[in-house]
């Protein structure tokens, strides 16, 4: 059985989902792939795992690095699981690139190279955003690309973590100013 809880963050509403093993989803309301892995038979009910995820978010949105991680149960292919495990290794307040993740994954498998686009696809389908920090992955050139919650939220999450933003920028033809979208 999956359980859900709504969380009001400073960046908008978030839907949390968990089963008896761990957190299965954390989605901004209306984001791309919203609740893709949510069981249709879920129940809106607060449970210990969801309370722990909510506590993690409270710490995070106060601008602090949480000193714990709630139990996680991401649902995805073995390849996606590997990519998501790499995301969990990106330190708070730091970024990496899709290309760097691809090189690391290729080395893990003894391959000469791996597609950064394939890695980007797995990053983009991360169902437990923020806690599995896909927002810390940027384009090699510094582009703030590929965040299902929206580029504006990605920039705000990076700013919250005090990441220096002067070398990062939105993709071409994208504005972080809502009035110009």
Residues catalogued as catalytic: 134
Tell me the C-alpha distance between 106 and 90, whole Å. 17
Q: Could you give the 3-state DSSP secondary structure of residue 128?
A: strand
Q: Are 93 and 65 in contact (CB under 8 A)?
A: yes
Listed residue (36, 40, 50, 67) closest to 7, CA to CA: 50
Structure tokens at 116: 């950064």
Q: Could you give the 3-state DSSP secondary structure of residue 100?
A: helix
């Amino acid at each position: 059985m999956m359980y859900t809880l709504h969380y009001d963050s400073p960046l908008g509403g978030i839907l949390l989902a968990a089963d008896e093993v761990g957190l299965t989803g954390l989605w901004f309301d209306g984001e791309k792939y919203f609740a893709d892995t949510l069981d249709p038979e879920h129940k809106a009910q607060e449970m210990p795992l969801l309370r722990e995820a909510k506590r993690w978010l409270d710490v995070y949105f106060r601008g602090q690095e949480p000193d714990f991680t709630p139990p996680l149960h991401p649902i995805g292919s073995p390849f996606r699981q590997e990519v998501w495990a790499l995301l969990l290794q990106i330190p708070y307040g730091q970024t990496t690139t899709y290309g760097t993740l691809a090189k690391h994954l290729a080395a893990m498998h003894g391959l000469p190279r791996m597609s950064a686009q394939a890695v980007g696809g797995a990053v983009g389908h991360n169902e437990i955003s923020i806690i599995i920090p896909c927002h810390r992955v940027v384009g090699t050139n510094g582009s703030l690309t590929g965040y299902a919650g929206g580029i504006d939220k990605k920039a705000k999450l990076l700013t919250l973590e005090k990441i220096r933003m002067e070398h990062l920028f939105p993709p071409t033809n994208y504005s972080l100013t809502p009035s110009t979208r």
